[in-house]
Each structure stands twice: as C-alpha cells, then as structure tokens.
Structure 1
Amino acid sequence: MPVNNVLLMIADDWSPIAGCYGDPIAHTPHIDKLARQSTVFDRAFCTTPSCAASRANILTGQYSHTHGQYGHCQGIHGFRTLPSMKTLPEVLRSTPVTSALAGKTHFAPDESYPFDFRRELMKPELAKFSNQHLSDAIEDCLDAIGSKQFFLLTASGYPHRIGGDFDPNFATQEFSGIDKSYNPETIPIPEYLPDTPAVRDDLCEYYRYITRFDDFVGKTLSALEQKDRLRDTLVILLSDHGMPFPGAKASSFEAGHNCPLIISHPDIKGGSHTQSLVNWCDILPTILEALRVPLEQWPENMPGRSLLPILEDPDAKEWLKPVAYSHSFHEIVNYFPYRALRGPRYKYIRNLAYQSPLPLPTDLFDSPAYHAILSTGGSAERTQERLLHHDREGFYDLEEDPFEKRNLINDPELQGLIESYRQQLTKLRRETNDPWLEVDFQEGDLPQRHNNMDLESEKRLIR
C-alpha cells in the first residue's frame, strides 16, 4: 500500500532512551512496538539542541542560521522565522494535502506556519503536560481532516522538565496507572554527570517523563488506527533535541545532538537499525517525497535529502558522509554560537564565541544535576571546567573519546583530515549563507566577506 499521509510525532528533550535503543530499564512499550515495525536510526542528529530553533529547522528544512529563528520565539526572546522562508504547511497549501497540528508549537510567527487546522496546547501549562488534553486535540484534528490526505504534526511536552506553575496533583491523577517506578539505585548514570543521590533522583524523574511520552505515542497511534488512517501513513517519531541535563541540551556535546529517529513505512518491512548519518534538515525532504509533492513546489536550496531510500537499504554506504550542527542561541541570554561537522568517527567544531563560558539554559542551571556539578566539580569524564569552557576549534575522535575530553586540533598526524573537515564546514556555511561567517572574516580565516565571495571560484581558505 503506498503512503498517502504522514504523521510526525515530536518529543521535547528526549535522548535515545528506550528499550529499542538498548536502555535496560526504560519502560517504553509503545515506542518499542513501533520500532519493531520501523527503521531505527542510531546516528540521527538535531542540527541545534534548542527547542524553537530545532522545530523551525524541521519545518523549513534549513539550518537555524538560515531560517532566522536563532533561538526561542516566545516572550522576551522573540526570534522569528524569516518571511522569506517557505515552511512545510505553506508548501502543502498548494497541494491536496490537509495539514494539522496538535500540541506544542514553539515556532513563530503563526502566519509563517499556516496549518489548515491547529489545536495548540502550549498554554496553559496544565494542557501542555496532559496526555488526555493532547489526545482530545488529536481527535479534533482527525475529525477535521476526515477522509482527506493529511500531514499531522503532534507534539508533546514530555519528557521536558515540568517546572513552572504546573499542578503536580493533576499529573499524579492522570498518570497514576502509567507512571513507572524507577529505582534511584539502579538508574543508569551518564558518565558525564556526577554520581550523586540528587542526580539519581533527577534522572528517575526524567525516566518517568519518558514513560509518559511513550503513553502519548501509544494514544496517538491508536487514534489513527481507530480512524483506519494508520495503514497508509508514514510515521516519523523524533525529538527536538537531547535530554535536559548539563552537557546535553543547548551544548555541542553529542548528548545534545544525538536524538531518536524512528520511521515506519506501511510498504516496507521494519525491524532494522541503520548507522546512516542524518540530521533534521533531512526530515522535510522526506515528508515532501512521501506525500508526492512535485519537486517544483519544494522550497529552494534545501541542504538535506529524503531519507526514504534508507528505509529500503539501511546499510547504504552513501549515508556515511559527515552531517552538520549549527547552534546560536537557546534563550536570549544563552548566546554561544558554534558550527560543527560530525563524521562517522571524528567531529570538528568551530566555536564562534569561545572567549566566554557556555551559558546554561535556566532549567539546566536550576536543576539538581547542575547543583551536583557545582558541589563536586563534575565527573571523571567531564569536569565543570570542560562543560563550560571551549576552545576556538575542536577536533575529537568519538570512538576513542566519546565524551570529548581530548582536543586533537593540534595533532600533527591529523592536520590533513582536520583541514578537510574545516573546509567542508566552511563550504556548507557559505552555501547556506551563515551570517556568522563575519566572525571568521574578522578573525582572519576568510580572505573576504562572505557576501562578496564567488562560491565557485574561491579555491582555498586562508589559514
């Protein structure tokens, strides 16, 4: 049966923690069931580990330095997707496909994302973290869609930290039969965090929220199945970025960028894992191809490519080329721009404001995990100093050094490889019109400003 529709489910701050990703204790039965029918991506990466910028990336197919929503969009932060960007719901308006959204948005302005039907649950906090309210919103969307071809975006608030003014008693009532009891003594501790009772308790809460997200996945798939709309629907399950802990979310470390990606195709047998290197620039082309949108209606100059061929051949070698990260802001006060190229083994990073320490998002700075880092100095794999202070350039061997402790940027035996990564990243930044190339120019890395460059004839960077 050919694909007729696309369901995109987005988690909030979810790292690849689930049974299908090898976690020994995560209770994720609905995610694991979907994974058995899907292709599971082990090396999928958000381009920026920050909620708003990442979601705009998914729906525009462009890096945040191109789409213009450099950081959070709400309140005083105020970043906006540029008017020149063509978004997925805008593209679908000229097709027979009905677009609908249920749940969290965190992209702006509304007019740049003209969904045909929208049930936004960003506010109040009670609705944002209620699976029942979100299920009701999904039902409304499916009723509005009827029998038409659709793209449906459903976005949960989990497993983000709750915080704020949310009523914990409501959560206790709604999830009394869902919450899994996790034991602090057996909870897995990421090696970049100190092993303290406070960190263990913090992680137990995070695992409970992953189980609540799993419940959302189950309810969403059940709603489509009851409407008989699941059997011809491509299902994409992913997260905006990694877990809300220091050294993950809003940082260049792998735990911030490596995310779950699970894709189920009704025509292709699932149950496989792929080591293909992909990033969230690839999601929009995948959706457009699945919905059979004519190429002439696609946004121009998208840097990504459709992932549908991987579902046919999970071991294709052509998908082992490096992928890029591009981050500038989280909240308005969390300015720490970097660009990175991540290959099968090595990662090159260019930090564009390395003179300052990494500013943590508010929810991380206030977290029990960061208080533990302050009191202990960090862990053996990542000290507080390493967490907060970054070199101008970094080059890391992720096989030998997965926590990026040893910067190899000056290793004489790797200079040829480092230069190759450096030039590949700069070429991508030029092709995607990165405004932060002005920093490279002022620091003497570029012979002339980007807006005067001839991208075809420039032969070499000045080092």
Structure 2
Amino acid sequence: MNKFLIYNVLIGSLVAWGGCVQQPHKPKSQRPPNILFAIADDQSFPHASAYGMPLFKTPAFDSVAAHGVLFSNAFVAAPQCSPSRAAILTGRNIWQLEEAGTHSSYFPKKFPVFTDALASAGYVTGYTGKAWGPGNWRDAGWKQNPVGPEYNNEKYTSLPTSGINPTNYAANFERFLEEKPDGQPFFFWFGCHEPHRVYEYGSGLRQGLDSAGMDVLPFLPDHDTIRTDLLDYALEISWFDQHLKKMLDLLARRGELENTIIVVTADNGMAFPHAKASLHEYGIHVPLAICGPGVTGQRLVDAPVSLIDLAPTILDWAAAEPLSAIAGKSLIPLLNGNLADTANRFVLTGRERHTHARPDNLGYPARAIRTAEYLYIRNLKPDRWPMGDPPPDNPDSGAVGTGMKPIVLGFEDIDDSPTKELLLANRYRWPVQYGLATAKQAAEELYAIREDPACVANLAADSHYTDVLARLRTQLEQLLIEQGDPRMISGSDVFDSYPRFGRMRPFPGFREQGAYNPAYQNKEQHDGE
C-alpha cells in the first residue's frame, strides 16, 4: 500500500468536506460522547478511496479517515456475518462464544454485550438495517436483538437497482434522533445490508462506473463478467457511503457532530471466491476509520487490530462498566497516538460452519494468527472441503457465465454470483484460480502478506520459513488454549452440534433445521462444564 498516496487522499478529503470535528480533548459540555457505529456487510480492505482505490467512491469514509485515524490492518474475528458481529458485541473470539461462534445459530444470553453496558450507563441505543444476524436470538432469551431497539420502518418506494435493500437507513437514524430524550448520549448501529449479495448484474456499469484501471485480484480470472461483478460490488459500497454522509450531515445540522465519535468498518470480506467465509486476507481484512472527540486525528495506523477491540474501546469512551472475561483490548492508546509496543501486535481469527455445505451439516474449523508480516492458518479438519463439498457430478461444460442461473451445485460456502458461476464452469481454463477458490487445503498455511496479499503462495512447506512457521504455530496454539478453545483443549467437535436456522440443503446425513446434531452434542467440552 502506498502511504504517500493515502496521505494525499486524506488531505484532499479534509479540504473537500468538513466531516467529523476533531477534538483531541473532552468536549466543553462534559457530556459523554455519542457514538455512531457504521458497519458494511461484506466489504474487504482496501476497497475505499481513502486507501488509494478511486474505483470505490467513499467520500464520507474518506472524511472520517482524514479527520481521525485510518487503520490499514483491521481484522474481523470471523469471515462470516453473525459470528463476526457476535464477536464485536462481546469482545470475545468465536471459540469463546459457543453457538454464537458459528453462523446462523443461537446467540446465548449468558454472553454480555457492550450495548447493554451502554444502556446501563445512560445511553440510548438503537439500530437500523442489519444488527446481529442471521440467527436466532429470541429463543436464546433475548427480549430484543443484542444490538438494541430496531428502527427499520422508513423504506424507499423506488431504488436505483434491484440488489439494494429498501431500508432508508438515514431516515431511520433521523427518526431515532427525534425520538430519543434530549440531553442523553446515544449509541446508534448503522448496519448497512450493502454490499451483501445479490447484486443486480450490470448495475455498476449502468450507474456510470468504469472498470478502466481496475486491478483484478490474482485469485480471480481477469474477465469481463468478473469486472462487471466487481463494479456492482463497488456500487453497493457507494450506497453505504452515501447513507453515512447523510447521517454525518444530519448530526452536523443538529449540532451533535462535534460530540459524536464515528466508527466505520465491515463485518467480513467481499462475497467473492477466496474471500468471504475464508480465513485468507480478503475474507478477514476490513476497512476501519474512527474520528471524533478524544481521537488524535490525521493519522494512519499500520498496527494490526481486531474488531473485538471495539467493545472495550467503546465502553472506555462511555466510561461504562467493562465487560468481563473478554479477549479484546481497548484501542484508546492507539487512538491517542501512543504507538509504543506495536511492532509485535497480532490478531487472532477463525471460522466454523458457514452454510449447510457438507454431509451431516459439518463445518470447516480453522484458526489463524495474523501479524504485520505473516498470516498463519491452521486447518483443523483438512480432510474436509473448505468451501463445501463439490457437486457429485460436475462435467466441464466450457461455458462462460454471464449472470445466468447456477449451472452446477456445490462449494456452497461461496456465495452464488456471476463470478462463481464463471469460475466453476471454466475450471480447466483457470485451474489456479479454481483451485484457490475450491480445493482442499493443507493442515497449515503460511503467507508472506507484504509480498502476497492475495494469499496465492502457501509457504508452509518452504524450508526458508521453517522458523516462522514453528513460531506462529506455537503462539497460536498457546493462545487458543489460554482462551479455552474446545477444539484445541480437547479436540471437541461441539461446534458441529450447534443448530443452524438458515437454509438446509439436501446433503446426506443430519439436516434438521434449528436442531442440535446428537452425534456431536454429547462431546461438549466447554471449560468449566
């Protein structure tokens, strides 16, 4: 990443638009700060113009970055929606969250969330769009979504494309501000549904986006279908940013912007092969920018940070009761410009089941550690297909996908898309990209991120990296044991027992929606149970 280019983009954003008001010290009112938390659905780093990517038009994000801190190494706890969001809310890693650590399951009520701590400290909370989900919070004992009260009544009657959700996020935020008591600080979660699939094919082109100068990532074929799909993705990122700008403008008009901390990020990476649902870089690496009172601005931070760090950070801002037994660490020192001891920072991440993609509703357990230089992945069941089982019969058709219905079934952990269809239909034409997207993985993977951010070359078997591999393997194992990971402590398969409330497919074996798999349930080995 070109830091000089990013610096110029940030300075341009400062000149172009006011955005956040930078106040390194506590506001004169002495009121606790408001907090606006904006989270995109399936957006990878570095897909924002603040990162030097002009195809992605994100002036509101750029303004937040320009007036505050732009993080170049922010990572999710899981490359999937609901476990990532549960980790953000609790400050815990997914192996510490039982059912909430897998996709589309329960969110156990016993895990405290920072939004409840904020409410106890006098904050008014609410959300629009997507909160925690998909999954079942009602039957787990929650009276409302763990994020807080819902504000989703305001809808659009017409939209620029059929792929965009009709929720009028900015109008719902305005309704929240109108209804909240005067003088009380607020926390509001703007959970944009975009750029989650499905996209309207060709919508980016029709809205004037141009793929000229686009660098197609090495794990994707350079083909017009994929370029078109990427433009559709970029258009939906722009939609998220437009609503963020409306919200910032609304705060400015109401005189609240100078006392509001803005956090902008995403829940996991882009919905393309070798990204979402994968522990590779484009599945776990997301944008992050923070500005507002108490944040020393106009800075770029390269140190690795995890989104589980946001829970203790937010509670520090609010002077609220901290959550107990969490793994996240407050980002306040980094936000205040204290970069001591950042050279050895790292983050942990992992995954379990994503969709119903294998017989017996089994998942794909994997854990990873990401340092400034390396990504080490431990695949705990390398005999399984990481993106789901292939179709039982998948002859090479030689066809080229153009947004048509899927011509094959299989690899169901990859979201259906024109890109997926194209790749599966032409696997012999692009064997490298096909393999990166679908093939079984070795038990260990190691990537030198600075040279290979696309995670194309696995260096785990390279003798030049023997010491690095051994060090990261030991470090990851020790940390997982310390944090009580059932997979690491006892080899428990309890995660494969947890219910799934989403779509169930006709794979052999157990496939009862919303039920525990009895073959694995009796192997539960949680610490202290």
TM range (shorter): 0.7 to 0.9
Show the counterpart of 1:318: 342
Secondary structure at the residue paired with 1:118? coil
- Label 1:240 to 1:452 Cα distance change in 2 as closer, same or farther (>3 A): closer
What is the Cα deviation at residue 353 of structure 1?
2.1
Q: Is the aligned partner of 1:243 residue 2:270?
A: yes
- Label 1:197 to 1:441 Cα distance change in 2 as closer, same or farther (>3 A): same
- Label 1:219 to 1:397 Cα distance change in 2 as closer, same or farther (>3 A): same
- Label 1:114 to 1:161 Cα distance change in 2 as closer, same or farther (>3 A): closer
Contiguous gaps of at least 5 residues in structure 1: 74-78, 443-448, 455-463
| Aligned residue identity for 2:102 | G
Give matches, 1:208-247, under 5 Å. Answer: 208-247=235-274
What is the Cα deviation at residue 351 of structure 1?
0.5
Show the counterpart of 2:392: none
Q: Is the aligned partner of 1:366 residue 2:398?
A: no
Show the counterpart of 1:308: 332
Q: What's the CA shift string for 1:139-182, capped at 9, x where partnerless?
A: 1211222320111111111111235xxxx7xxx9xx99xx8511
Give matches, 1:279-358, under 5 Å. Answer: 279-293=306-320, 297-313=321-337, 315-318=339-342, 320-333=344-357, 335-358=363-386
Contact (CA 8 Å) 2:219, 2:456: kept in 1 or not? no
Choose from 42, 51, 64 the match for 1:13.
42
Choose from 84, 93, 110 the match for 1:63.
93
| Aligned residue identity for 1:239 | A
Greater Cα shift, 45-54 or 388-397: 388-397
Q: Is the aligned partner of 1:198 residue 2:214?
A: no
- Label 1:55 to 1:121 Cα distance change in 2 as closer, same or farther (>3 A): farther
Secondary structure at the residue paired with 2:364? strand
RMSD: 3.3
Give matches, 1:134-153, under 5 Å. Answer: 134-147=169-182, 148-153=184-189
Show the counterpart of 1:457: none
The 1-side partners of 2:431 and 2:300 are apart by 28
Q: What's the CA shift string for 1:288-311, capped at 9, x where partnerless?
A: 001111xxx322111111112112
Secondary structure at the residue paired with 1:261? strand
Contact (CA 8 Å) 2:351, 2:367: kept in 1 or not? yes
What is the Cα deviation at residue 100 of structure 1?
1.5
The 1-side partners of 2:307 and 2:313 are apart by 10
What is the Cα deviation at residue 248 of structure 1?
0.7
Q: Identical aligned pairs, as a percentage?
A: 27
| Aligned residue identity for 1:90 | D
Secondary structure at the residue paired with 2:441? coil
| Aligned residue identity for 1:80 | Y
- Label 1:116 to 1:57 Cα distance change in 2 as closer, same or farther (>3 A): closer
- Label 1:365 to 1:267 Cα distance change in 2 as closer, same or farther (>3 A): closer
The 2-side partners of 1:317 and 1:366 are apart by 43
Choose from 84, 88, 98 the match for 1:54.
84
Contact (CA 8 Å) 1:131, 1:216: kept in 2 or not? no
The 1-side partners of 2:148 and 2:472 are apart by 42
- Label 1:441 to 1:365 Cα distance change in 2 as closer, same or farther (>3 A): closer
Give matches, 1:114-125, under 5 Å. Answer: 117-120=149-152
What is the Cα deviation at residue 189 of structure 1?
1.3
Greater Cα shift, 430-439 or 33-42: 430-439
Show the counterpart of 2:168: 133
Contact (CA 8 Å) 2:423, 2:430: kept in 1 or not? no
Secondary structure at the residue paired with 1:157? coil
The 1-side partners of 2:347 and 2:380 are apart by 19
- Label 1:226 to 1:352 Cα distance change in 2 as closer, same or farther (>3 A): same
| Aligned residue identity for 1:39 | V
- Label 1:377 to 1:130 Cα distance change in 2 as closer, same or farther (>3 A): closer
The 1-side partners of 2:158 and 2:386 are apart by 32
| Aligned residue identity for 1:157 | H
| Aligned residue identity for 2:191 | A
What is the Cα deviation at residue 238 of structure 1?
0.4
* TM value normalised by structure 2: 0.74
Show the counterpart of 2:20: none
Show the counterpart of 1:76: none
What is the Cα deviation at residue 29 of structure 1?
1.8
Show the counterpart of 2:11: none
Contact (CA 8 Å) 1:72, 1:332: kept in 2 or not? no
Contact (CA 8 Å) 1:274, 1:314: kept in 2 or not? no
Greater Cα shift, 316-325 or 54-63: 316-325
Show the counterpart of 1:105: 131
Contact (CA 8 Å) 1:351, 1:393: kept in 2 or not? yes
Greater Cα shift, 382-391 or 353-362: 353-362
- Label 1:259 to 1:292 Cα distance change in 2 as closer, same or farther (>3 A): same
Contact (CA 8 Å) 2:377, 2:444: kept in 1 or not? yes
- Label 1:85 to 1:414 Cα distance change in 2 as closer, same or farther (>3 A): same
Q: Is the aligned partner of 1:408 residue 2:432?
A: no
Show the counterpart of 2:486: 435
Give the length in aligned residue pairs.
Answer: 431
The 2-side partners of 1:281 and 1:370 are apart by 31
The 2-side partners of 1:409 and 1:132 are apart by 45
* TM value normalised by structure 1: 0.84
